[in-house]
Amino acid sequence: MTINIFEVVNNALASIEPAIPFAADTFIGSLPDTYLTYFLISSPPEQSADDVETERSYRIQISFWGRTGIAGLPTAIVDAAMIAAGFIPSNFRQLPRDQASQHFGLAKDYIYLD
């Protein structure tokens, strides 16, 4: 039952065509015009039987960053890749514009039940 949720997210994001640069937590190095970051928000147990966990959910936040504005962010193709990997899209919210890099941001949560 134990999965590595970071591998699941990496595989989903790596499947996107055309490729979008992404990183866990923080993008290090020169920032591209459009990129993604992700991190685990929570992973509560959902069900147990005979004192053994049988289900756990994972809430992953993917942050979309782009210099051309929020409307141009690749949300639809990321949604498609995450859904294909078994995630359910959840909440989303605008992030403050990064004053240093001038990237606009949007955060979307995805839920995975294992």
In this prediction, residue 33 carries a pLDDT of: 97
In this prediction, residue 1 carries a pLDDT of: 54
In this prediction, residue 46 carries a pLDDT of: 83
Which residues of the chain register pLDDT less than 70? 1
The closest alpha carbon to 64, from 100, 29, 101, 20, belongs to: 20
- The answer to whether residues 79 and 109 touch, using CB atoms and an 8 Å cutoff, is no
Predicted confidence (pLDDT) per residue in 4-27, tens digit = 999 999 999 999 999 999 999 999
In this prediction, residue 54 carries a pLDDT of: 82
Domain architecture of the chain: domains with CATH: 5-113 (3.30.2000.30)
